[in-house]
Amino acid sequence: MPGTLPLSRRDLLRAGLGAGTLFALAACGSGSGSGPAAGGSGVITWAWQLPTSWDPITSSAGSDVQMLALAYDALTALDPSGKAIGWLAEKWEYNDEGTAVTFTLQPDLKFSDGTALNADAVARSLNRARTAKGSLVAPQLADVQEVTAEGELDVLITLTETNFQYPLLLAGKTGMVVNPGVFEKDASVLATTAAGSGPFTLTSYTENDHAELRKNPQFHLADEILVEEFRLYPAPDAATAVASAASGQYNVVRIGAANIDAAQAAGLEVQVLDSMFVAVLDVNTTKAPFDNPAVVQALKFGIDREKIRQVAKFGVGDVNYQPFPKGYVGYAEDLGEVYAYDPAKARQILADAGLSGGVKGTFSVTAPPHPATEQIQAQLKEIGIDLSIETIPGSEWTQIVYLEHAKALGYDGFAGRESPVQAFQVLFSETGLMNPARNRDPELDAQIAKVRATPVDDPSYPEVLQEATRIAVTNFPNVFLYNEPFIIARQKSVTELPQSPSLRRFEGISAG
Nearest-angstrom CA–CA distance, 493 and 9: 48
When the beta carbons of 86 and 256 are compared against another protein, the nearer one is 256
Kind plus residue range of the DSSP H or E element containing 130: helix 119-131
Tell me the closest approach of the beta carbon of residue 414 to another protein, in angstroms: 23
Question: What does the alpha-carbon distance between residue 266 and residue 261 come to, in Å, rounded to a whole number?
Answer: 9
> Taking a C-beta distance cutoff of 8 angstroms, is the pair 261, 244 a contact?
no
Complex with another protein: residue 311 or 335, whichever CB lies closer: 311
Residue 329, class by beta-carbon neighbours within 10 Å (0-12 exposed, 13-18 middle, 19+ buried)? middle
Of 13 and 378, which CB lies nearer to another protein in the complex structure?
A: 378
Binding of residue 358 to another protein (CB under 8 A):
no
Instruction: Give Cβ neighbours of residue 391 (< 8 Å, ≥ 6 apart).
Output: 364, 365, 366, 367, 368, 369
For the bound state, the minimum distance from the C-beta of residue 379 to another protein, rounded and expressed in Å, comes to 9
**How far apart are the two ends of the chain, measured CA to CA in Å?**
59
Q: Which is nearer to another protein, 214 or 307 (by Cβ)?
A: 307
Hey, which residues does 156 pair with through a beta bridge? Answer: 102, 148
**Closest CB to another protein among residues 203, 388:** 388
Q: Least Å distance between CB 349 and another protein? A: 23
Shortest distance, position 258 Cβ to another protein, whole Å: 6
Which 198-237 positions form the footprint of another protein (CB under 8 A)? 237
Distance in Å, CB of 343 to another protein, minimum: 14
* Shortest Å, Cβ 375 to another protein: 6
**Residue (of 164, 230, 216, 256) closest to 486 by Cα position:** 256
Which of 102-110, 111-119, 193-201, 384-392 is the region at the interface with another protein (rule: CB under 8 A)? 384-392
Q: Which stretch binds another protein (CB under 8 A): 42-50, 139-147, 295-303, 382-390?
A: 382-390
Q: Are 384 and 420 in contact (CB under 8 A)?
A: no
Q: How far apart are CA 137 and CA 46, in angstroms?
A: 27
Q: Which amino acid is at 380?
A: L
How near is the Cβ of 88 to another protein at its closest, in Å? 41
Q: Which of 189, 191, 257, 262 binds another protein (CB under 8 A)?
A: 262
Footprint (CB under 8 A) of another protein, residues 231-250:
237-239, 242
Where does 266-410 have alpha helices with state H? 293-301, 305-311, 343-352, 371-383, 394-397
Binding test (CB under 8 A) with another protein, winner from 52, 112, 259, 284: 259
234, 231, 251: which is closest to 39 by C-alpha? Answer: 251
Rule CB under 8 A: is residue 279 a binding residue for another protein? no
**Within 13 Å of residue 496, how many CA atoms lie on the same side as its CB?**
7
Which window, 183-191, 213-221, 226-234, 258-266, contacts another protein (CB under 8 A)? 258-266
Choose the stretch contacting another protein; rule: CB under 8 A; options: 6-14, 219-227, 383-391, 457-465.
383-391
From the list 204-212, 261-269, 422-430, 458-466, the region that binds another protein by CB under 8 A is 261-269
Regarding beta strands 229-234 and 43-48, do their DSSP bridges make them parallel or antiparallel, or are they unpaired?
parallel
Site string for another protein, 453-492 (x = CB under 8 A): ----------------------------------------
Number of shown-chain residues binding another protein (CB under 8 A): 24
The residue range among 206-214, 257-265, 318-326, 463-471 that interacts with another protein, by the rule CB under 8 A, is 257-265
Judged by CB, which is closer to another protein: 253, or 312?
Answer: 312
Give the whole-angstrom CA distance, residue 293 versus residue 388: 20
Tell me the helix, strand and coil percentages in the chain, rounded to 5.
Answer: 35, 20, 45
Can residue 306 be called a binding residue for another protein (CB under 8 A)?
no
- Binder to another protein among 27, 378, 403, 446 (CB under 8 A)? 378
Alpha carbon distance 484, 273 (integer Å):
9
Least CB distance to another protein at residue 368 (A) = 5
Out of 86, 361, 371, 498, name the contact with another protein by CB under 8 A: 371
Q: How far is CA 499 from CA 69, 81, 99, 255, in A?
A: 16, 10, 34, 17
Q: In whole angstroms, what is the distance from residue 434 CA to residue 399 CA?
A: 12
Contact range with another protein by CB under 8 A, out of 186-194, 278-286, 372-380, 415-423: 372-380
Considering the complex, state which of residue 22 and residue 367 has its C-beta at the smaller distance from another protein.
367
Distance, CA of 505 to chain centre: 14
Rounded-to-integer distance, Cα 15 and Cα 184, Å: 58
By residue count, the chain amounts to 512
Least Å distance, CB 370 to another protein, is 10
- Please tell me whether residue 414 adopts helix, strand or coil conformation: strand
Sketch the per residue contact string, 385 through 424, with another protein: x for CB under 8 A, - otherwise.
---xxxx---------------------------------
Which residues here bind another protein, judged by CB under 8 A? 237-239, 242, 258-259, 261-262, 265, 311-312, 367-369, 371, 373-375, 377-378, 388-391
